[in-house]
Amino acid sequence: MTTTTTHPRPSTSLPARSLSARVRPWVTGRVRTVRAMILARQDDGMATAEYAIATIAAVGFAGLLITVLKSATVKGLLTGLITSALSIG
């Protein structure tokens, strides 16, 4: 009868790591990427709100300007200015 002796082979591969140890770096990197994307987009609505406020302010200023320009005093000043600009001599 022949006996076979087995010797453990030397390990040539990297030590086995648990699944969580292999996945963790990928998840951590992905979480950082998503967090950076969210932080970068947090002020997207701010531009829209700023445009809305600027538009409301412009409409209010336009209304005030129309009211001032319709007054008799301003009409007289503008008419005199245009008449003197168009007159020759």
Say what the pLDDT of residue 22 is. Answer: 63
Dump pLDDT digits (tens) for 15-50. Answer: 566 666 666 666 677 778 888 887 777 666 667 788
Which range, of 33-37, 57-61, 83-87, averages the lowest pLDDT?
Answer: 33-37
Q: Amino acid identity of 67? A: T
Residue ranges of the domains in the chain?
45-89
Q: Does 58 score more than 80 pLDDT? A: yes
pLDDT at residue 9 is higher than 80: no
Instruction: Tell me the pTM.
Output: 0.40
